[in-house]
């Protein structure tokens, strides 16, 4: 039994003993001792990243002096923002099961752990692309307004001429109308604070999806917990899938808004104390126990044991190489990447190579066995079940980042995605064990105080 299973088993046994003691009106037995400290986690390796991002992420981690997990995990989630739902992946050869590349990520660390500087540095390419898209929109909007005004003036003149000709020619008069120009589309990549209605409007004009960045994720999660926000919560749950639609009806306001495709990528950070509070509430069987939290990939590395002063120029060559990857995914052409069209939904997708399929089937078989053998605590079971999307999505992102020519997703990308599943599970085990331990921790502390032990 690994450390995580041992902790979850001890917690469950303590809770069972306490419940039985209550039922029998007896004194609670001494709690079983829990291991001290946090559970160990898999270390972050640059081999988890696409080749084009290795040097860039390592450079950021070194200059910021933070664990490489922070920029590394953020860089991968940012790939999902850039790609959105433009191309999906079908993990089976014949089935139409399709997953999208949008992902949710929460990086965890104490205040001052350099989470925000790391995320800010990694998201800079997306912000640069967003700024360029906004400038393009501003220019196109000005041209549109000019063309629209010209067309309206021409149509006004045509209507005046038509009225005059009707008087002269009667029914033989003809009205020549100038077609109005099509408004430009404002391409959006990221937002930081939006109501669901505003977010829905953005998604209506950006069917590829959009990224939501929140430096303090608990603020977003808490807002979705509030009474009356059930619709907003459902919107986010739908957005994680990246394939559904959404319709907003507000009779009192006369609002009708239909979004054909809802795809959301969410990136942010959480402090351990606030995470503990939220995990306890989200895994206690209440309204928040709907799997919203378990949709997040979690990265909670050990803090750097040694710090050194680093003052050097950023690696601009590596940064430009990374910028090219995100730019390429943002403007990807599905047909140029040999993606197959979905005739029923006007979507495109890639499938796995035979070698990648073997890797995936082996991994999926182990996952499904784990989910069905009863060895996983409910706090982790929901998280692991979400790996059915996360692993194929990661394989798709790695493949497109490493292989500009596209084609079937290869074994190397799938193997890397499977390595991520191991990495992410260890970090989830740390987070969920930390979150559900307070009651037993309190019992252990009370026992120590009662018996005068523990120093």
Give pLDDT, residue 306.
84
Of 293, 275, 217, whose CA–CA distance to 438 is shortest?
Answer: 275
Q: Which residue has the higher pLDDT, 445 or 222?
A: 222
Token couple for 139 = 């220019």
Give pLDDT, residue 398.
98
Q: Which residue has the higher pLDDT, 245 or 58?
A: 58
Residue 441 has pLDDT above 60, yes or no: no
Give pLDDT, residue 453.
44
Residue 364 has pLDDT above 80, yes or no: yes
Residue 11 has pLDDT above 70, yes or no: no
CATH number at residue 325: 3.40.50
What does the mean pLDDT of the chain come to? 86
Report yes or no on 354 lying in a domain: yes
Taking only the tens place, the pLDDT of each residue in 78-137 is: 999 999 999 999 999 999 999 999 999 999 999 999 999 999 999 999 999 999 999 998
Q: pLDDT class for 455, splitting at 50, 70, 90?
A: very low
Report yes or no on 398 lying in a domain: yes
Report yes or no on 335 lying in a domain: yes
Report yes or no on 452 lying in a domain: no
Choose the weakest-confidence range: 1-5, 202-206, 445-449: 445-449
Residue 169: C-alpha distances to residues 158, 161, 163, 258 (Å):
15, 12, 10, 46
Residue 447 has pLDDT above 80, yes or no: no
Give pLDDT, residue 32.
47
Query: What span, in angstroms and rounded, lies between the C-alpha atoms of 1 and 56?
Result: 38
Report how many domains make up the chain: 1
Give pLDDT, residue 120.
96
Do 389 and 382 contact (CB within 8 A), yes or no? no
Give pLDDT, residue 160.
85
Report yes or no on 236 lying in a domain: yes
Choose the weakest-confidence range: 221-230, 261-270, 332-341, 379-388: 221-230
Sign of the CA dihedral running 421, 72, 404, 102 = positive
Choose the weakest-confidence range: 35-49, 118-132, 165-179, 397-411: 165-179
Query: What span, in angstroms and rounded, lies between the C-alpha atoms of 107 and 264?
Result: 17
Report yes or no on 197 lying in a domain: yes
Taking only the tens place, the pLDDT of each residue in 217-239 is: 988 988 888 888 888 898 999 99
Report yes or no on 174 lying in a domain: no
Residue 79: C-alpha distances to residues 63, 82, 183, 353, 396 (Å):
22, 5, 29, 21, 10
Give pLDDT, residue 253.
58
Domain hosting 283: range is: 6-19+47-135+185-304+312-437
Report yes or no on 113 lying in a domain: yes
Residue 4 has pLDDT above 70, yes or no: no
Give pLDDT, residue 365.
97
Query: What span, in angstroms and rounded, lies between the C-alpha atoms of 108 and 112?
Result: 11
Token couple for 214 = 């929140």
Residue 247 has pLDDT above 70, yes or no: yes
Do 342 and 86 contact (CB within 8 A), yes or no? no
């Amino acid at each position: 039994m690994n450390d995580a299973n041992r902790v979850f088993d001890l917690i469950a046994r303590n809770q069972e003993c306490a419940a039985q003691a209550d039922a029998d009106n007896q004194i609670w037995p001494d709690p079983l001792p829990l291991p001290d400290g946090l559970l160990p986690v898999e270390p972050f390796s640059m081999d988890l990243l696409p080749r084009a991002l290795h040097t860039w992420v390592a450079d950021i981690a070194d200059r910021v002096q933070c664990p490489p997990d922070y920029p590394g995990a953020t860089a991968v989630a940012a790939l999902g923002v850039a790609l959105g739902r433009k191309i999906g992946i079908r993990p089976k050869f014949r089935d139409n099961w399709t997953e999208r590349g949008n992902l949710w990520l929460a990086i965890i660390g104490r205040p001052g752990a350099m989470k925000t500087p790391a995320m800010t540095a990694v998201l800079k390419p997306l912000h640069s692309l967003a700024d360029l898209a906004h400038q393009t929109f501003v220019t196109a909007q000005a041209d549109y307004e000019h063309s629209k005004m010209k067309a309206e003036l021409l149509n006004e003149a045509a209507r005046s001429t038509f009225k005059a000709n009707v008087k002269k020619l009667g029914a033989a008069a003809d009205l020549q109308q100038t077609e109005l120009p099509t408004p430009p589309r404002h391409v959006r990549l990221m937002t930081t604070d939006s109501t669901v209605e505003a977010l829905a409007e953005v998604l209506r004009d950006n069917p590829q999806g959009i990224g939501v960045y929140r430096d303090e994720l608990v603020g977003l999660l808490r807002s979705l917990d509030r009474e009356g926000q059930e619709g907003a919560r459902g919107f986010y749950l739908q957005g994680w899938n990246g394939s559904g639609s959404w319709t907003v009806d507000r009779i009192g306001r006369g609002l009708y808004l239909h979004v054909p495709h809802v795809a959301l990528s969410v990136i942010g950070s959480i402090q351990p104390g606030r995470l503990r509070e939220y995990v306890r509430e989200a895994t206690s069987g209440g309204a928040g126990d709907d799997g919203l939290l378990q949709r997040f990939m979690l990265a909670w590395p050990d803090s750097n044991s040694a710090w050194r002063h680093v003052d050097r120029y950023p690696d601009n060559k590596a940064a430009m190489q990374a910028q090219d990857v995100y730019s390429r995914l943002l403007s990807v052409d599905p047909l140029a990447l040999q993606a197959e069209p979905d005739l029923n939904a006007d979507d495109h997708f890639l499938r796995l190579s035979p070698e990648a399929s073997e890797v995936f089937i082996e991994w999926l078989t182990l996952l499904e066995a784990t989910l069905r053998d009863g060895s996983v605590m409910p706090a982790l079971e929901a998280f692991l079940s979400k790996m059915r999307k996360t692993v194929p999505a990661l394989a798709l992102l790695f493949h497109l980042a490493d292989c500009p020519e596209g084609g079937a997703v290869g074994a190397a990308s799938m193997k890397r995605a499977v390595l991520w599943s191991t990495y992410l599970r260890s970090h989830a085990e740390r987070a969920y064990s930390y979150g559900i331990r307070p009651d037993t921790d309190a019992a252990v502390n009370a026992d120590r105080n009662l018996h005068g032990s523990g120093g």
